[in-house]
Structure 1
Amino acid sequence: MGLSDVLARSASRHAHALVVEVPGSWRARMTAERNLFARGWRLADSPADADVLVVCGAPGPGLAEAIESVWHQMPGPRVRVDVHAGDEVGARLDEAHRGLLDTDHHRRDAQQRPTASELLAEQAEPEAESHGGHEGMDHGGHDGMDHGGHEGHDDMEMSPGGIPLAEGGEDRDGLEMDVLQVRFGPVLPHWPAGLVLRCSLQGDVIVEAQAELVDGAARQEDDVIGPARGIDNIASLLALTGWDDAAAEARRIRDTALEPGDGAAGSDLERLRRRVRRSWTLRWSLRGVRRLSDEGAHARGLPADAVGDTYDRLIGMLDRAVAGVAATAAGDTGRTNVADRTLSTDHLAPLVTGLDLATARLVLASLDVHELVAGQAEHEVSHG
């Protein structure tokens, strides 16, 4: 056995997986997470940290393009598997494990994968085709048109690698400060499935934002969902705060809550709620973060339980989860209509404007969203 084989076996035992949820495929994503943790694998924080790409669901063209971009960013050795239903997760992860051990495949993959310059050339081709032969043509009325996400690219200074550089913009004190156009999502851990947030950044502060859903509306697997969906959102918020131990406990409780007739989730969830309430560090970190009044929540189309700051919303999420698990144990179905936790993309941009990127992710996670729907602006654009 050569050194490459030894390293491959070691990597396969401690693989890091980047799990992508197609909108509506939450159950498949949850099952994938549960199975990979059982194997001793870990969730990857970024493409650079990933050995395995697990795509849960059938992506549309927009998400498929984003996933392909993420795949190119993953270093080798790398393996991709696609999961279309929860009952096939085990077989697909077995397939990924065998793929990690296939050193010959990884050599071929390294030889065949495109270089950075080739990828940039591929991205530039559609733009060149759309603008080719237009010299001297009157483009009146097209100022500011979005050509594939590179707004204002004709005047934007470009680096030698084809990457857009920051432009100047007026800061709050009247001085000029660099403004960078950045896109977040749709492939991002602990992030609403299918969400793309286009941001203008001054430093690390979002000064302008636009939210949209890739490939349109989400396709939910079920009309109704149980308390496990809310517990999953709690796990995401705790993970974003950096409290990995509590996030792992929340995921374990989530998995328990999905097992019919298992009454352990209620007592475990109550213990987690007490643990969160006792944490002064967590309280100090989240207090005052994007506080919403009754009027502010109503104006943004948010449910009444969004009132307060991010800490208040976290405690509310725990309270609702405890009540949902108790209702299930008492014989109720414990299932909540998806419409009760649905949010339009129209209401997201004001919530993150003025925040730094890390804080914006905390705020979005605290909303306990089960489904996103396209806002009015997106609807008008898609229908002309």
Structure 2
Amino acid sequence: MTERPPRSGRKTRVLIVDDSASVRQTLSDIISSDPALEVMATAADPYAAAERIRQEVPDVIFLDIEMPKMDGLTFLRKIMAQRPIPVVICSSLTESGSDALLQALEGGAVDVVTKPRVGSIEFLQMSRMQICDVAKAAAQARPRGPRPKPIVVERKLTADAMLPPVRANPARAMPEIGTKIICIGASTGGTEALRDVLEALPANAPPIVIVQHMPEKFTAAFARRLDSLCAISVKEAEDGDDVLAGRALIAPGNLHMMLQRIGARFRVSIADGPAVCRHRPSVDVLFRSAAQAAGANAVGVIMTGMGDDGAQGLLEMKTAGAFTLAQDADSCVVFGMPKEAIERGAASKVVPLARIAGEIMTAAHASTLAKSR
């Protein structure tokens, strides 16, 4: 996939679809406040939105999930089947909406934002910045379309049908110094890209820590979804979690995650703090901590996303001796973060999405061989 060509200064046109008049007005005010964006139209339901799209195609659609007449997921599927347009899901900040959100991302939505709500001036300013940044990123994205349904193959049932196999004993899975710690950062388009990478990894993959720009309350559902699909275990990180082989830890939304070395083992620290590179969690924060705590024992991977978060941190990892990877332009939904890292000389290697899992295992295997000599 490649970025859309520049629009020669034309503003990004946004269509807002939400059954709440107050949400439509608030989103309109926020988006219109950015000189690079304009609200093309608003619609109270998908039928009104479809009629507006027939008159003029927007650059980006902000779409609610729960609406009368037709729900947002059904409308999203129709858009992706007929004429793919970058869609941003605008959702309430609830655990109950997490499954629908993940279905939307799997169905082709490029990103998600939480609905703006009345709060402090600082909160509203942060909300405005995030919504406008996501709109600009989505405008540069090429939707990858819905993920095809997996082929179901009949197989002989085993005990796994009732009881899952026992995973590695955490006490034996502690990474020794010299074991590679894989640090991954992603943003727009990253949820499905991360699924591609993690699904391709074997159960004995090296320890993985991940920052994916995503609102709070949704990262736990995202981690549970990946855990059900992957050979490795996946969980939303908690403060003090050990970094273990065969497990990926995902930074919780709205909190930073850092790698720490405690004697001969590693763990993560979860902390509040100011947004870094306009994000919390920030990829730069994770990558810098990895450079300091793990040095050459780390592997840095920067993937699809808008902006420059992670570029400086990846360079610091490389300078500290880490092997670093950047996703290539053709396989990115948005070639922003990897491009910035490549231009700064932070990437040891640039590879397509389909090769990232293999490169991770190659780096881990090289580390194992070096230790055995």
Smaller-chain TM-score range? Answer: under 0.3
Larger Rg: 1
Tell me the TM-score normalised to structure 2 length: 0.26
Higher strand share: 2
Tell me the TM-score normalised to structure 1 length: 0.25
Higher helix share: 1
